[in-house]
């Protein structure tokens, strides 16, 4: 396989402190050697080994491709009217999910696949090279399995979220729906997914139901992740930590005990500022989590209801402006943090052996992602060593 050296990088985020300065492992005036789909070497430009191909980064910054560890992109339709109503003062509730469920059920496989492809490409244009996505807008055995098959054809990180809300078909029998989710639906879905998720929230699933669902999934080899403490205080975060979930997502309403649990457990706190932006809710307090010692990730939560953005740079900017993160912390959370939330060590860093997933910014440093909000700074993307943008 051909090797390529990318030289004249003003500032390289490796996320590997043994290769550079600080937690981001920053190298100034850097070069990266890519061999096939892997990073083979990183260091200062002057020491870069000779290779077949040379790419001049033009004195601009390179960082690992963003790892977006939370999205809901197998869906049809949109919810513009709901957004408009919210921006005129209505509040967000989980009930809107039913609108997308109806549209998704009515869509063909081809429509759903094309929609997903479009949003994956939209994310790629903004530097995302790994994207987790979930089912959850089908809520029948066939529809959930179909969503996961469609997702698995396009991304390696697929999550079974049959427990998004109680299916409207089971409005009078939530216990029956939990039996379905942990029985026939799990049988049909487990082969297509790596993760199991549940929306643990008022109006969705309570702590006992969430425990039953996640435990059943874990028994089938799916690793738990939890939508926790988004709209209200609740049991989600502590349940996630107790069950060894990879991630507790949202973490907007946290007690001191929730923060302690995250700081002392193996569960990443994944913050989704697009959701607070689009629902005009209070911001999650990243500073409090970081100061306590929790591992924090940032993700888009891209979905048509609560957060219709696929932009990790936008999330980085919000996290810095409104959640108490430094630019370095936010960039780490959007790359290495996302990788940790997906229990991956091959992505979210750029040091030898890592997957060659890189984003080149039209800016001298990664700080510009927050310093220049809303500006499309990502100008080139390599995924598995292949230039895709």
Nearest approach, Cβ of residue 227 and Fe ion (Å): 5
Tell me how crowded residue 52 is: count the other CB atoms within 10 A of its CB: 10
Structure tokens at 74: 């197998």
For the four alpha carbons of 325, 374, 74 and 125, in that order, the dihedral sign comes to negative
Sheet holding 53-64, edge to edge: 38-44, 27-35, 3-12, 53-64, 358-361, 378-383, 386-387
The residue sitting closest to ligand NIG, measured at its beta carbon, is 305
* Partner residues linked to 53 by β-bridges: 4
Structure tokens at 255: 């007690």
197 binds Fe ion (CB under 5 A): no
- Segment near Fe ion (CB under 5 A), from 94-102, 284-292, 299-307, 349-357? 299-307
Which residue lies nearer to Fe ion by CB, 4 or 300? 300
- Segment near ligand NIG (CB under 6 A), from 38-46, 95-103, 190-198, 287-295? 95-103
Answer yes or no: is 250 a known binding residue: no
Which residue lies nearer to ligand NIG by CB, 41 or 75? 75
Answer yes or no: is 121 a known binding residue: no
Q: With contacts defined by CB under 6 A, how many residues of the chain interact with ligand NIG? A: 14
Among 25, 64, 65, 96, binds ligand NIG (CB under 6 A): 96
Answer yes or no: is 137 a known binding residue: yes
Which residue lies nearer to ligand NIG by CB, 134 or 211? 134
Which residue lies nearer to Fe ion by CB, 301 or 357? 301
Footprint on residues 349-388 left by ligand NIG (CB under 6 A): none
The residue sitting closest to Fe ion, measured at its beta carbon, is 301
Answer yes or no: is 70 a known binding residue: yes
Cα-trace Rg, the chain = 20
303 binds ligand NIG (CB under 6 A): yes
301 binds Fe ion (CB under 5 A): yes
Q: Residue 306 touches which of ligand NIG, Fe ion, none (CB < 5 to 8 A by kind)?
A: ligand NIG
Q: How far from each other are the two terminal CA atoms of the chain, in whole angstroms?
A: 20
Tell me how crowded residue 114 is: count the other CB atoms within 10 A of its CB: 13
Q: Please, what's the b/e burial string for 254-274 (b: 16 or more CB within 10 A of its CB; e: otherwise)?
A: beeebbbbbbebebbbbbbbb
Among 41, 66, 119, 199, binds ligand NIG (CB under 6 A): 199
Footprint on residues 236-275 left by Fe ion (CB under 5 A): none
Which residue lies nearer to ligand NIG by CB, 201 or 357? 201
- Asked if 154 and 184 touch (Cβ cutoff 8 Å), the reply is no
306 binds ligand NIG (CB under 6 A): yes
Draw the binding track, 48-87, toward ligand NIG (x: CB under 6 A; -: no contact).
------------------------x---------------
Footprint on residues 275-294 left by ligand NIG (CB under 6 A): 275
201 binds Fe ion (CB under 5 A): no
Give the residue ranges of the annotated binding site for N-formimidoyl-L-glutamate. Answer: 137, 303, 305
Interacting residue ranges for ligand NIG, rule: CB under 6 A: 72, 96-97, 100, 199, 227, 230, 275, 301, 303-307
Interacting residue ranges for Fe ion, rule: CB under 5 A: 301
Give the residue ranges of the annotated binding site for Fe(3+). Answer: 70, 72, 227, 301
Give the residue ranges of the annotated binding site. Answer: 70, 72, 79, 137, 164, 227, 230, 301, 303, 305-306
């Amino acid at each position: 396989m051909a090797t390529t050296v990318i030289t004249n990088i003003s500032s390289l985020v490796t996320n590997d402190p043994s290769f550079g300065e600080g937690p981001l492992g920053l190298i100034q005036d850097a070069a990266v050697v890519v061999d096939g789909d892997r990073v083979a070497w990183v260091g200062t430009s002057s020491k870069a080994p000779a290779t077949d191909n040379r790419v001049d980064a033009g004195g601009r910054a390179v960082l690992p491709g963003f790892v977006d560890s939370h999205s809901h992109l197998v869906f049809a339709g949109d919810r513009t009217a709901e957004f408009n109503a919210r921006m005129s003062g209505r509040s967000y509730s989980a009930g809107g999910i039913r609108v997308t469920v109806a549209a998704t059920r009515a869509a063909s496989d081809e429509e759903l696949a094309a929609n997903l492809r479009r949003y994956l490409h939209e994310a790629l244009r903004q530097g995302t090279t790994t994207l987790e996505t979930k089912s959850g807008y089908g809520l029948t055995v066939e529809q959930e399995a179909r969503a996961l098959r469609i997702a698995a054809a396009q991304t390696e990180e697929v999550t079974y979220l049959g427990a998004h809300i109680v299916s409207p078909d089971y409005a009078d029998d939530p216990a029956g729906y939990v039996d379905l989710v942990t029985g026939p639906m799990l049988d049909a879905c487990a082969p297509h997914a790596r993760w199991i998720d549940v929306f643990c929230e008022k109006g969705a699933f309570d702590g006992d139901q969430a425990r039953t669902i996640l435990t059943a999934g874990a028994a089938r080899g799916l690793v738990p992740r939890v939508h926790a403490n988004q709209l209200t205080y609740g049991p989600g975060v502590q349940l996630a930590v107790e069950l060894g979930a990879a991630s507790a997502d949202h973490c907007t309403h946290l007690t001191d005990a929730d923060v302690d649990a995250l700081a002392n457990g193996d569960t990443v706190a994944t913050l989704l500022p697009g959701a607070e932006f689009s629902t005009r809710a209070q911001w999650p307090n990243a500073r409090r989590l970081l100061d306590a010692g929790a591992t924090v990730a940032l993700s888009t939560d891209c979905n048509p209801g609560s957060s219709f953005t696929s932009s990790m740079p936008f999330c980085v900017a919000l996290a810095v402006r409104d959640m108490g993160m430094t630019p370095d912390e936010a960039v780490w959370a959007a790359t290495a943090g996302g990788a940790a939330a997906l229990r991956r060590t091959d992505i979210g860093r750029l040091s030898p052996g890592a997957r060659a997933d890189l984003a080149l910014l039209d800016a001298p440093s990664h700080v510009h992602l927050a310093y220049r909000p809303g500006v499309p700074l990502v100008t080139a993307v390599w995924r598995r060593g292949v230039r895709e943008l």
